[in-house]
Structure 1
């Protein structure tokens, strides 16, 4: 195995951590946008942009995992099937919560309502990320997967 191949194998765990960190940052920026403004005035455009960007990034991340990363893990580690199913269920729940946030933004809900949606997403997202990292980082360090990291994990 070449040094480049070894680096590529270990990179999946680093890339997952990096994407999780960026999504945590995007959530924080979105929360700050909610705290700053009344969605019935001009900050609504800023809030819509942040919410759309955050929701899109998180959804893209989860769809990439479901489509590419999890099947590769399942092929090499069939014993992780229950873990992968639990993570996919989290993805579905988070997608539902993101839909609720998007509907609240579209309805120009109050900052308090939007903050409530973000708190719910934050709680589930953080729990999901921690579980995923505990269960999969060691596996990702040895995963042989020839795929585009951005298509697999979302924007890096």
Structure 2
């Protein structure tokens, strides 16, 4: 299923969860009684994005990294459903399946919206969150102006 080069970077044991929308892949690494970190990737990525985090934290934390439906090793049904609420529902189903009462979130990109959806539904369960979901620091108009100022400066040089 995985090439030898990917397998070298991804030495984690695969786990599977059956959901009404399809079969989902996830990694569950580290001590079962450790503090839990739930990793939710963005699009078009997969849990491979968190491979370094998994390696670094699995000795002291239980790190769970989900492949969303349509991504990574999870099933890819042509019709989905692939909307935000469906992704939140599936993340919650995995949380229930694993019996996770308290956890922290590590989210990236689209996983940020999914994670925040989980957090609003389960505010008492989420202990903390870390996001690699960035937004521009300035409005579009300012970015356009900055680019034109930069072009003017380089034209003068």
TM-score (norm 2): 0.25
Greater relative CO, 1 or 2 (CA 8 Å, sep 6+): 1
Greater fraction helix: 1
Greater radius of gyration (CA) = 2
TM-score (norm 1): 0.25
